[in-house]
Structure 1
Amino acid sequence: MSYLSSISSPTLLISEKICRANIKRMADKAERHGLNLAPHWKTAQSRIIGEWAKDYGITEISASSIKMAEYLSGQGWKNIHIAFPFNIREIPRLNKIAATQSISLQVINPVTAQRLVDELTVPVGFFIEIDAGYGRTGVSVSDFGLIEEILLIAKKSPKLNFKGFYLHAGHSYYMPDIPELYEQTRNALDMLKNKYRTEYPELLTRTGDTPGCAVMEDFGDIDEMGPGNFVFYDLMQEKLGGCFKSDIAVALAVPIVDINRERNEILVHGGGVHLAKDVLKEEDGSSNFGEVVYLNENGWEIPEIQNRSYLKSISQEHGIIKASDSLMKTAKIGELLGILPVHSCMTADAMGSYLSLDGKIIDHCEGSFDKK
C-alpha cells in the first residue's frame, strides 16, 4: 500500500535516501578536511535519524536543550553537547543525565560557571561560546578578562572541564559574503587557540553554522564542525547557495480543500501550526511560505521553474497557494500536494514526527505521529 494512502491531514514526509546523502556529503567533507563532525540535532531531533548518521562515522552529537539531551542520551553517543548557553535551573537534570552519558555544555558568564562548580555531582565538559560578530549570544572574542574569569572559576572543581571554544556564525544566514565571514571565524578561533593552548593543550575549536559548513572549503585550524540544518536543508539554505532544491529531504504533505480558478489559488490544510511562519520574499515583494512539489510513490517531483507554485499566505491551519497554470489544470479537491519548507528545523519541530516514503513513522523529540 502506498504511503500516500495513509495521509488524511498535514504530514511531514522524509526521504531517507536524500537525508542519508546529505549526511554522507557533510561527513565526507569533514573527513576531507580532518575535522570532527558533531552535528547539531536541533533539526532532526530523532533517534532513528541518529542511527542513520552513525552509519557515516558520526559518534558525537549536539542538542539545543536539556530535554533533547535527555531524549538522545543512552543511544550510544560518545558525547552529547548542549549547544545553548546553559540554564542553571536545570543543573539537577544535568546531573542525572551526566551520571550515565558524557555531556558537554556552553558557558558564557561567571555566574553559570560558579553554580556548576557548586552543584555538579559528576564531571561535565564545557565550551566557552564566542561572539565574533553575530550579536546573539556569547563572550566577545576580545573579552579576555571574561574568558579568564570563567576559566579560573572552572579550575575550582574537577567536575567542570574546559574543552574549548565554540562559535556559531549565525550571521551567515543574512551576510552575502560567506567567505569573508568565515575568514573572521577562522581568525577568531585561531587567535583564541594560540592564546590558550599552552595552558590547555587539548583545547578544541568548533564552528556550527550550516551555510558556512556547506559552502566553505577552507577551515583553517578549526578542529570540529557542528552544522544542523544540512541533514534536511530547506528553501532558505537553497537561497543561500548551500544546497539545491533536490537536496531538501522533507516535504509537508497537505490536502487540497478548495480551488479558486478565478484567482489561480488553491486552499490547503496546512498553516502556521505545521510549517511555522518563516518566510522568503519573491522578486515582486510577495511572501513565500513554502514551495509546491508533486507527490508520487517514490517521494516528490520538483516542477520546472516556469511551473513553480508557492504558498503566498498562511493562517493557523490553512494556506493559500499561488498556483501555476499547469497546477490549476491538474489540481483536485481532496488530493495531496507537497510543500518544501522555508525553515525545516521549525517545520519539523512543529510537526513532531515524520512519515518515511515506505510508510514508517520516524520519531521526533517533540512528540508522536498520533498527536498530529
Structure 2
Amino acid sequence: MTFLSIKQPILVLNETICRKNLSKMAEKAKKHQLNLVPHFKTHQSLKVGEWCRDFGVKEITVSSLKMAQYFSQQAWDNIHIAFPFNPLLTAELNQLAQSQSISIQLVNEEVCLILAAAIDHPIGYFIEIDAGYGRTGVEVSDFGLIEKIMRVASKNKNMFFKGFYIHAGHSYHADLDGIKHIHEQTRAALKMLKDKYHSEFPHLLTRSGDTPCCSIMDNFEGIDEIGPGNFVFYDLTQAKIGSCLKEDIAVALAVPVVDIHWDKKEVLVHGGGVHLAKDELINADGSKNYGEVVLFKDRHWQLQGHPSYIKSISQEHGIIKASDQLIRNIKIGDVIGILPVHSCMTADCMGSYISTEGEIIDHLEGHSKK
C-alpha cells in the first residue's frame, strides 16, 4: 500500500512532526538535567522506538508486561511497567527479567509479598504515589504503607527500590492554571519523599509522567526523570489544553467519503468508533466533537480555515458537520483525514500506521493479531 492508494481507514503518521516533538521534549529534558524515559503506550511501535533512540532515549516506559515483551527485542537499558503490577503474571515477569532489565510499579503490600516469595532475577520497583489524581497509587502521606512495601521487598535480594513515580492524569482535564497547580503538587510530593528517604536510599529517583505538565511547565525541581507518552503524537485534547498546537499533531486517520448530504451540510465517512475510539471534546456551542477534518495534499495534510468535525459516531460510521469550504472541496470517493481527540486510543484501535511516505509502520496490537 502507498500513501496515495488508501482505500479504507488507516492511521497516517508524519515522521517529520513526530521527530520534531521528540526533539523538543529531549531538549527540554536536557535543559533541566532530566532523564527522559518516554511512555511507549501511545505509539506502541518498534519503528517509533528507533526514532526515540535517535534523541538519546535509553530507557522506556510501558503499560503492560505484553508491551514490555514486545519492546524487549530492542534491548533497552531498562523497561519500566508503569501499571500496578498484576501478580498473576509473576512467572512471566521472572522469565523476562532473565534477559531484560525490568522495573515495575507497586502500590500495596499484598503484591509485594507475592513477588518477594517468587522473584529470582533482579527487578527494580517504583512505588506509585497518588498526589491528587485518585486513580491509583499510595497516598503521598501514607508513610506506613510506603515503608511496609519497602520492608517486604527488602526480604528478596533481587528486588531493589528505584524510587517514586507520579502520573498526574487529572492534568489532561485541566486548564492552564489547573495544570500549574497539579504540577506544583507533583513537584512538592516528589521532593518531600526524596528528602525523607534519600539518606536511606541515596540513589532513589523521582519520576513524573504526564504530557501536559511535561510539555507546558518549566520548573522541575525535585524531579529526576520525566516519562510522558502522548507528546510523540499529541492530539486535539492536548491542543485544547495548550500542550501543543494543532500543527504538532503527528497522526491523522484517513477515511473514505461515502456520502454527502448537501442540504444538511453533512458528510458520511467510513470511520467510526472501531477506528477512532469514542473520546470526545465539547465545542463552544455545546456540540460533541469526535475529531477534526484535515485535507491531504502532497503527502501531508492541511488544517482547514473553517473547521469541520465529526459530530456523531457509531461503530463504523462517522458523520461530519461540514463547513461550506469543505463541502465545496470534496466529493464521494475522496479520502480525507481526521485529527484524533485521543491519539493513544486511536493508535490502539488501528493497530498499524502508514507513513506519509507510504511505509507501513508496526504497532503492538497489529503484531499481536498476526
Corresponding residue number in structure 2 for 1:255: 256
AA aligned opposite 2:339: L
AA aligned opposite 1:119: A
* Pairing 1:32–2:31 present: yes
Listed as ranges, the gaps of 5+ residues in structure 1 are: none
Corresponding residue number in structure 1 for 2:64: 65
Listed as ranges, the gaps of 5+ residues in structure 2 are: none
Report percent identity of matched pairs.
Answer: 60
Q: 1:109-188 alignment to 2 at 5 Å? A: 109-176=108-175, 177-188=178-189
AA aligned opposite 2:127: I
The runs of 4+ residues in structure 1 deviating greater than 2 Å are: 368-371
User: Deviation string for 1:122-161 (max 9, x for gaps)?
Assistant: 1100000000000000000000000000000011011111
User: Deviation string for 1:10-43 (max 9, x for gaps)?
Assistant: 0000000000000110000000000000000000
* Pairing 1:276–2:274 present: no
Q: Displacement of 1:370 after TM fit?
A: 9.4
Is the contact between residue 354 and residue 369 of structure 1 (CA under 8 Å) also seen in structure 2? no
Corresponding residue number in structure 2 for 1:360: 359
AA aligned opposite 1:316: Q
Corresponding residue number in structure 1 for 2:3: 3
Is the contact between residue 207 and residue 227 of structure 2 (CA under 8 Å) also seen in structure 1? yes
AA aligned opposite 1:252: L
User: Deviation string for 1:87-130 (max 9, x for gaps)?
Assistant: 00001111111100000000000011111111112110000000
Is the contact between residue 353 and residue 369 of structure 1 (CA under 8 Å) also seen in structure 2? no
AA aligned opposite 1:282: N
User: Deviation string for 1:342-367 (max 9, x for gaps)?
Assistant: 00000000000000011111000001
Is the contact between residue 257 and residue 268 of structure 1 (CA under 8 Å) also seen in structure 2? yes
User: Deviation string for 1:273-328 (max 9, x for gaps)?
Assistant: 00000000011111000000001222100111xx1100000000010000000111
Is the contact between residue 188 and residue 222 of structure 2 (CA under 8 Å) also seen in structure 1? no
With structure 2 as the length reference, what TM-score do the two structures score?
0.98
Corresponding residue number in structure 2 for 1:201: 202
CA distance in 1 between counterparts of 2:140 and 2:369 reads: 46
Is the contact between residue 35 and residue 226 of structure 2 (CA under 8 Å) also seen in structure 1? yes
Is the contact between residue 186 and residue 222 of structure 1 (CA under 8 Å) also seen in structure 2? yes
Corresponding residue number in structure 1 for 2:337: 338
AA aligned opposite 1:363: D
SS in 2 for 1:221: coil
Corresponding residue number in structure 2 for 1:236: 237
SS in 2 for 1:29: helix
CA distance in 2 between counterparts of 1:292 and 1:175 reads: 25
Q: Displacement of 1:183 after TM fit?
A: 1.0
* Pairing 1:23–2:22 present: yes
Distance 1:41 1:303, change over 3 A: same
Q: Displacement of 1:76 after TM fit?
A: 2.3
Corresponding residue number in structure 2 for 1:224: 225
AA aligned opposite 1:299: H
Q: Displacement of 1:2 after TM fit?
A: 5.5
CA distance in 1 between counterparts of 2:113 and 2:3 reads: 52
User: Deviation string for 1:200-252 (max 9, x for gaps)?
Assistant: 00000000000000000001121000000000000000001000000000000
AA aligned opposite 1:202: H
Distance 1:368 1:299, change over 3 A: farther
SS in 1 for 2:365: coil
AA aligned opposite 2:250: A
Is the contact between residue 2 and residue 297 of structure 1 (CA under 8 Å) also seen in structure 2? no
Distance 1:302 1:147, change over 3 A: same
Corresponding residue number in structure 2 for 1:87: 86
Is the contact between residue 292 and residue 339 of structure 2 (CA under 8 Å) also seen in structure 1? yes
CA distance in 2 between counterparts of 1:74 and 1:203 reads: 27
AA aligned opposite 2:121: V
AA aligned opposite 1:8: K
User: Deviation string for 1:139-186 (max 9, x for gaps)?
Assistant: 000000000000000110111110000001111112322112111111
CA distance in 2 between counterparts of 1:36 and 1:214 reads: 15
SS in 2 for 1:220: coil
Q: Displacement of 1:368 after TM fit?
A: 4.8
Is the contact between residue 361 and residue 369 of structure 1 (CA under 8 Å) also seen in structure 2? no
Is the contact between residue 2 and residue 359 of structure 2 (CA under 8 Å) also seen in structure 1? no
Corresponding residue number in structure 1 for 2:327: 328
CA distance in 1 between counterparts of 2:369 and 2:222 reads: 46
SS in 2 for 1:164: strand
Alignment RMSD:
1.2
AA aligned opposite 1:110: E
CA distance in 2 between counterparts of 1:208 and 1:273 reads: 28
